[in-house]
Amino acid sequence: MPWQSLLQTRDRLPVTALDDWYAALLQRAGDTTPFALAVLGGRLAATPGLAFLAGYQGALRALWPAAPLSLGALCVTENRSTRPADLHTRLRGLHLSGRKDFVTAADAADWLLVAARVEEQGEPRLAMGVVRSGTPGARIEPLPALPLMPDIGHARLHLDEALCELLPGDGWDSYVKPFRSIEDLHVLSALSAWLFGVGSDSDWPQEVRLRLLALLAGCAEVARHNAGDPVTHLQLAGLFAQFHALRPALDAAIGAGPGEWAALWARDCDLLEVAGAARAKRLEKAWAALAR
């Protein structure tokens, strides 16, 4: 991780369309690791939503190292569920049919990772296919902006015999399941970098900024480990515990500074809580696995 990029950066990328913003981030980042991309993107982001986008894209590249350089999206959720038994999208040969109900940044994505059931041979299983934006049979339906991170759009993906590229491995074990932890880590890192930038610009107390740096150093270490390992889940839970312990100091510091930062934080400060229930379940399972 090139820490100088975090400590010495003084500017931010202008707010533009998501794909243009991400292209500008890639130009600044060059050939770097997914974790470094998330951290630099968070530091260069003008909003928590754009920091989230940087973490999300870093997570996708940690999940699929051969991913195209352009902006992508993961498509799993159907009817508010990500459980394999609840997914109705089907893969037949190399064609996908079905609907994904909640896809982050889908309207700006150049490629889409789509989880689908395969039932042609033996037991049903989950596969992962890649669909390029604009492929015949793939249609994006933008959804209304949410109160949380309204600058990051969400959409439905409609698939009707859309041609895809099939990725190797099991769709659940190799992609959907590990992504939950990978995304948590990279989004936490990006948001912490955004907060560090705000603190640097607003002359926050040194202790608060140093605690953010320590949190980022812990994130860098956890990023080196297998996302599916119970020990990694414990380490990740420890990082979130650090962040939650820091929240009172963060809230006080940002509230005492410029109003624009305080307003953005008041709007988006709970973005890390969205997946809190799933993290709690993973932590419980991790403790149980280690106890055995």
- The pLDDT of 8-14, averaged and rounded, is 92
Same domain, residue pair 208 and 147? no
pLDDT at residue 274, rounded to an integer: 86
Please identify, among 116, 138, 166, the residue that sits at the C-terminal boundary of a domain. 166
For the cut 90, the answer to whether the pLDDT of residue 115 exceeds it is: yes
Percentage of residues in the chain having pLDDT higher than 90: 88
Of 126, 149, 166, the residue that ends a domain is: 166
Averaged pLDDT, 134-158: 97
Output the pLDDT for position 194: 98
The C-alpha torsion from 166 through 172 and 174 to 176, rounded to 10°, is: 100
Q: Can you give the residue range of the structural domain that contains 80?
A: 72-166
Q: Are residues 187 and 222 in the same domain?
A: yes
Q: Output the pLDDT for position 7.
A: 86
| Region 156-174 average pLDDT | 97
Q: Which structure tokens are listed for 206?
A: 């040194």
Determine the average pLDDT of the residues in 72-94: 94
Whether the pLDDT of residue 1 is over 60: the answer is: no
The pLDDT tens digits for 237-246 are 999 999 999 9
Arithmetic mean of pLDDT, 207-229: 96
Name the percent of the chain lying above pLDDT 70. Answer: 99
Asked if residue 8 and residue 136 are part of one domain, the reply reads no
Whether residue 136 sits in one domain with residue 97: yes
Q: Is pLDDT larger for residue 31 or for residue 16?
A: 16
Domain finish residue from 166, 193, 225: 166
Tokens 């491995």 appear where? 169
Query: Mean of the per-residue pLDDT values for the chain?
Result: 95
Same domain, 257 and 281: yes
φ, ψ (nearest 5 deg) of residue 97: -135, 140
Closest by CA to 110, choosing from 58, 151, 69, is 69
**252/224 same-domain check:** yes
Q: Give the C-alpha separation, 205 to 236, whole Å.
A: 26
Same domain for 278 and 199, yes or no, is: yes
9 and 96 in a single domain? The answer is no
The answer to whether 12 touches 24, Cβ cutoff 8 Å, is no
State residue 122's pLDDT score.
Answer: 67
Overall domain count for the chain? 2
Tell me the pLDDT tens digit for each residue of 23-79: 999 999 998 999 999 999 999 999 999 999 999 999 999 999 999 999 999 999 999
178 and 194 both lie in a single domain: yes
Which residues is 139 bridged to in the sheet? 158
Q: What is the mean pLDDT of residues 144-173?
A: 96
The pLDDT value given to residue 65: 96
Predicted confidence at residue 268, as pLDDT, reads: 97
Q: 132-136: which pairs have CB atoms within 8 A and are 24 or more residues apart? A: 133/109, 135/162, 135/163, 135/164, 136/162, 136/163
Decide: 267 and 145 in contact? Cβ < 8 Å. no
Judgement on whether residues 245 and 206 belong to the same structural domain of the protein: yes
Query: Residue 126 sits in a domain of what CATH number?
Result: 2.40.110.10
Does residue 49 sit in the same domain as residue 183? yes
The DSSP annotation for 134-179 comes to T-TTEEEEE-PPPSSSTTS-EEEEEEEEEE-EEPSS-HIIIIIHHH
Do both 54 and 185 map to the same domain? yes
Per the CB < 8 A criterion, the answer to whether 191 and 214 are in contact is no
Return d(Cα 100, Cα 215) in angstroms, integer: 34
